[in-house]
Structure 1
Amino acid sequence: MCGIVGVVSSTPVNQLLYDAMLLLQHRGQDAAGMVTLQERKFFMHKAKGMVRDVFRTRNMRALPGAVGLGQVRYPTAGNAYSEEEAQPFYVNAPFGLVLVHNGNLTNAHALRAELFSTDHRHTNTESDSEVLLNVLAHELERSTRGVPLHSNEVFEAVRNVHKRIRGSYSVISLIAGHGLLGFRDPYGIRPLCMGRSADGTVMLASESVALEGSGFVFERDINPGEAVFIDLQGQVHSMQCAEGATLNPCIFEFVYLARPDSSMDGISVYQARLNLGETLAKRVVSTVPPNDIDVIIPIPESSRPSATQLAHLLGVQYREGFVKNRYVGRTFIMPGQGVRKKSVRQKLNVIASEFKGRNVLLVDDSIVRGTTSREIVQMARDAGARKVYLASAAPPVRFPNVYGIDMPTKDELVAHGRTVEEIRELIGCDALIYQDVDAMKQAVAKALSPSSKRKLDGFDASCFDGVYITGDIDTDAIVRMNNNRPRIEETEEDSSRLALPNMTEG
C-alpha cells in the first residue's frame, strides 16, 4: 500500500504535490519521492523517511515545473531499506518516463525474466514497480514505432500492459514532453481518482482527501482497466483498456487503510466504518449481554467510528481510554546495546480512571498477529478493569494478502488454523467477538452512494476469505511473494503500519 499523486497545471506544482503527499502520508511512511517536469527535463528528489523530513526548502527549489508526480512508500516487496527502491522510478527510453505505483504485481518474478530475455530491458532493483515501469516503456516503444505519440498510442500501450501483468496496480506515469498517464488494474483493487481546481489544474490521487484537502473538486474515480491521459495543455483523454473489467476494491481499505474522510469508488469510508459497528453490535449481543458492559473504548484510531456506532446501538457509554503518542521515533542501537523492540506501551497510554473497576469492551478495526491485542488487553487489566472483552470490526485475518498490504505469512497470523476460543486464550481477553465475513461485505457495500454511476461487483477480501480475485494465486505463488517481502534489518525500526512483533517474542 502506497499513496500516489500526479498534477498537470500551468503553474509550479511542487507545493501542490507536497501538500497532497502530506494528506496521503497515512498510506506510507517508509520513503517519499517527487518528480517535476520543465520543458523536457525531469527533476527528482526522493529519500527514506516521511514527507516533512525528505523535502526541505532547498529540495523544493530544485523541483521546478508545472507537471509532476509523487509517492509516499509503504514497502510490500523488495528491500525496504534501499534508497534506490524509493519511488518514482525512471527510464530514459522511450521519451523519458517516470512512474509511481500503488499495489503489488503477482507475476513480477516471471515478468523480470521476460524483460531480460525477450524485451532486452534491464532492471536494477528487486522492486515490482521497476518491472511495471519497464513493461510500460517497452509497450510504449512498440505502439509508437515510426509514429508520433498521441493518446491512442498511449492507450494501445496500456492495453498491452494489462495483458502482460497480473495483480493490483494503480499507476501514475509522466511522459517527458507529452503528459501524465494514470491507469488502474482491471479489478479496481487499489484506488485512484481525479479532480480539478478552479484554474483548470488536474490532479490524480489515491484518495479523494488528497484532492479536497488541496482545494480541488473531486470529479470521479478512475474505472477498473481504464487509462486517463492528461496532455500538457490539461486536456483529459480517457479510454477503457481492459476487457471484462470488474470493480472489486480491496475491502481492507475501508476497514483500516484509508482515511475516514475519503470516498472510494462511491463508498464513504466513514459511513462504511459506522456500518461495520452496526453489524458488529449484533455479534456482540449474541456473545456478551449489554448490561454486562460498563464502557466501550476504541483502540485508536481507525476503530473509532465503529466503536461509536456500537456504543450507540447497545446503549453503553463510549469513552476514550487510550491516548496515542504520535511522535514515537526510531530505535537507535548504540555500542554494547542489544536490539530493543518498541513496546505498544510506548505508543499508547491508558487513562486509568476509564478502566478501574469496570467491565470494558475494547473495539479494534482488525486483529493481525494478535500480539498488540494481547498487550493492550493486559494494559486494560493493569489499569484495574474487572473484565476485558475485545471486539474486532473485521473478521479473522486468516490468509496472506498479496495485493499490496504487507500482511505476514499465514503462520504468523494469529487466526490461521485457530478457533476463536483458541485466539481468545492467546490474547487473554474474557470474550472475543469477530465480525462476520458476509456481514462485513454487506456493511461496506451499503455505504455506496445512491448517485454512484459505477456498479460494485464485489470486493477483494482475500485476507479474510482466501479468495484471490485475480485467479492466479496458489501456494507456490504465495511462498514466492513471501520470499520477496521487504527485508527488515535488526538495527532498523519496521515502519509498516501493520508491523507487529511475532507471537514468540516476549
Structure 2
Amino acid sequence: MSDQHSPRLPTTDPFDDDKLREECGIFGVTGVSDAANFVALGLHALQHRGQEAGGIVTYEPVDGFHSARRFGLVRDNFTRQDVIDGLPGPLGIGHVRYSTAGSKGATQIRDVQPFFGEFSMGGAAIAHNGNITNADALRRELIGMGSIFQSSSDSECIIHLMARSLQKSVPERMKDALRRVEGAFSVVAMTRTKLIGVRDPLGVRPLVIGRIGQEGWALSSETCALDIIGADFVREVEPGEMVVIENDALLSYRPFEHKKSRFCIFEHVYFSRPDSTLNGRSVYETRSAIGAELAKEAPVDADLVCPVPDSGTPAAIGYSQQSGIPYAMGIIRNQYMGRTFIEPTEQIRNMGVRLKLNVNRALIRGKRVILVDDSVVRGTTSRKIKEMILDAGAAEVHFRIASPPTAWPCFYGVDTPQREKLLAATMSEDEMREHLGVDSLKFISLDGLYRAVGEANGRDPKSPAYCDACFSGEYPVAPSDQIEKGFLLKAAE
C-alpha cells in the first residue's frame, strides 16, 4: 500500500480550549469513479468533528490500496490535485481527528487514521469514531500475545483483534473483534470490494447511510456530509448493526446482543452541525427547542437575547421567540483567524477571546443582555465574554446555558477535562454565577433537555433514552480503564 504523509502542522485553535470536543468524523464511499474526491468533500463537511489531522485510504484493482495522511485541515491538504491523483479508485474511506489534550499528548502521524491491516484474505482499512473504554486491558493482552502496536490510538486494537480472529472473511473478523470491545464505536471500514459500517450496541456515536445516484453508496458521521456530495439520505445505521455494501447490494447483520439505545445527547446540543438530522430530527430545530425550553424554565427581564457564536445561535433564537425578547447579534465572530495565531506571542495570547469575538458596542451599550451559550466547561471563556460585554457598557449580563451543568468527563469519544477541572464538578450553580461574575446564571434542566429532544415526559431515571453521563454521572458502559486508574463512579463518591 502506498502511503503519503506530511510533516506536522498544528491547526488547533489556542483560544478555544473551553469547549468539549468531538474527537473525530468518519466517511466512506463506494461505486463512484473517483472515491478520493467524494471522501475529501465529505470530510470537509465533517471538519467540525476533527481539525488537527485527516486521512484517506482508497482501493483500485491495478495497484491496490493507497493512503494519504496529513496534519491540518481538509481544505489545505485534500484539495491538492497531486494528493487526490495519488488516491485512485472507486472505493475509499476517510477520517478527521481532533487530538486529545493532557497526558495523551499531541497527535503523531502514526495516530492518524484510517488504519490499515494486511490479512490472509486481503487488506482492510478502518476508521473509528468513539472511544474504547477497555483499550488498555486489550492492548496489554495483545502485546502479551506478540502484537506490535504502531500507534497510541485505542482504535488500533480493532486491527490487532481482527488479525487474531480465525474467521475467513474481513466482516466476520470485524464482528469477532468488536465483540471484545467495550465503550463507543462507529466504524467505517473497507476491503478490496466491500464498504462496511458498524455501530456499537448502544449507538452512542452517529453513523448514516446515503445513496449516490444509481450505483454509489456513502457512510457518514452526519447527514450534512451527504448533502455536500449530492447523496440522498437513506437511513441511520442502527445501534448494534453492521452493514456490508458490495456490488451495489447492502446487507445488514446483527453481531451483538440487543441493548436499549443510548445515543449521545450532546450531539443534539453541540457536536453535530445544525444542518444535520439526528434520529429523524433537525439538529437546528432541536437546538431552537432547547432555547425555548430554557426560556420557560429560566425567564428574566432583559432587553436583548444574544448568542455566543456560533454554537449558541439556534438556542438563542428559540429563547428569543419563546420569551418575546428581541434577538440580536451582540457578539460578532471573526471567521478568518485561521493559522495567523497558531503560535501566538504572549501579548497576543493575553488578548484571549477578543481575537475571535468582538462585541457590537453600539447595540450592547446600556442594555440588559441575555447571553445564550451551549455549555460551560471550565468557565474561562465565559468569564472573558462577560468582561467584554460589561466593557461595552451593558447594564446587566445574564447567562443562559443550553445544556445542564457538565460535571462529569466523557469516556466515549469526547475530549473532556479531568473532573476536577470541570466548573460544575466543584461548584453549585450559585457559586458558578459568583465565579463568572454575572447577574444571573441558569442551565436547562436535564428533564428540560430531554423534552426539547422529543421525550415529552422528560428523562426516565430508570431507563434514560440517551447517554447523558457528562451531566448525570451515570455511565451506560463502565469506563474500566479509567476505573483501573482510580476514577470514582458516582455511586463510589
Determine whether 1:445 maps to 2:454.
yes
Q: Report the equivalent of 1:89.
A: 115
8 Å CA contact 1:247, 1:457 repeated in 2: no
What is the TM-score of this pair, normalised by structure 1? 0.85
Determine whether 1:346 maps to 2:370.
no
Q: Report the equivalent of 1:229.
A: 244
Alignment of 1:3-402 (within 5 A): 3-39=25-61, 41-55=64-78, 56-76=80-100, 78-94=104-120, 95-118=122-145, 120-139=146-165, 142-144=166-168, 149=169, 154=171, 156-175=172-191, 177-231=192-246, 233-285=247-299, 288=300, 292-330=301-339, 331=341, 340=349, 343-402=352-411
- CA-CA distance at 1:386 after TM superposition: 0.7
SS of the aligned residue for 1:33 comes to strand
8 Å CA contact 1:4, 1:21 repeated in 2: yes
- CA-CA distance at 1:109 after TM superposition: 0.3
| Structure 2 stretches lacking a partner, 5+ long | 1-22, 457-462, 489-493
Aligned partners of 1:279, 1:392: CA distance in 2, in Å?
11
**AA aligned opposite 1:161:** A
- CA-CA distance at 1:322 after TM superposition: 1.2
- CA-CA distance at 1:132 after TM superposition: 2.1
SS of the aligned residue for 1:181 comes to strand
- CA-CA distance at 1:74 after TM superposition: 1.5
- CA-CA distance at 1:228 after TM superposition: 0.7
**AA aligned opposite 2:254:** Q
8 Å CA contact 1:194, 1:218 repeated in 2: yes
Residues 112-166 of structure 1, C-alpha deviations (whole Å, 9 max, x = no match):
0111223x32212111111222223333xx111xxxx3xxx72x43432332111
**AA aligned opposite 1:71:** H
- CA-CA distance at 1:72 after TM superposition: 1.0
8 Å CA contact 1:272, 1:446 repeated in 2: no
SS of the aligned residue for 2:466 comes to coil
More off after superposition, 156-165 vs 103-112 = 156-165
- CA-CA distance at 1:425 after TM superposition: 1.1
More off after superposition, 466-475 vs 22-31 = 466-475
- CA-CA distance at 1:205 after TM superposition: 0.4
Alpha carbons of structure 1 residues 241 and 402: separation in structure 2 relative to 1, 3 Å? same
**AA aligned opposite 1:229:** V
Aligned partners of 1:423, 1:480: CA distance in 2, in Å?
24
Q: Report the equivalent of 1:413.
A: 422
Aligned partners of 2:264, 2:342: CA distance in 1, in Å?
35
SS of the aligned residue for 1:388 comes to strand
Alpha carbons of structure 1 residues 258 and 66: separation in structure 2 relative to 1, 3 Å? same
What is the TM-score of this pair, normalised by structure 2? 0.88
8 Å CA contact 1:158, 1:241 repeated in 2: no
Q: Report the equivalent of 2:16.
A: none
- CA-CA distance at 1:375 after TM superposition: 0.3
8 Å CA contact 1:162, 1:186 repeated in 2: no
Alpha carbons of structure 1 residues 473 and 293: separation in structure 2 relative to 1, 3 Å? farther
Determine whether 1:403 maps to 2:426.
no
SS of the aligned residue for 2:54 comes to strand
SS of the aligned residue for 1:317 comes to coil
8 Å CA contact 2:137, 2:481 repeated in 1: no
Determine whether 1:434 maps to 2:443.
yes
Aligned partners of 2:209, 2:284: CA distance in 1, in Å?
20
- CA-CA distance at 1:474 after TM superposition: 8.3
More off after superposition, 267-276 vs 399-408 = 267-276
Residues 48-84 of structure 1, C-alpha deviations (whole Å, 9 max, x = no match):
1000112221101111000000111122484433111
| Structure 1 stretches lacking a partner, 5+ long | 448-455, 482-506
Residues 197-253 of structure 1, C-alpha deviations (whole Å, 9 max, x = no match):
22320000000111122111100100111101112x222111111112321111111
SS of the aligned residue for 2:209 comes to strand
Aligned CA RMSD, in angstroms, stands at: 2.2
Q: Report the equivalent of 2:470.
A: 463
Aligned partners of 2:284, 2:96: CA distance in 1, in Å?
23
- CA-CA distance at 1:477 after TM superposition: 4.6
Aligned partners of 1:353, 1:477: CA distance in 2, in Å?
54
Q: Report the equivalent of 1:501.
A: none
Aligned length: 454
Alpha carbons of structure 1 residues 66 and 480: separation in structure 2 relative to 1, 3 Å? farther
- CA-CA distance at 1:479 after TM superposition: 5.2
Identity level (%): 38
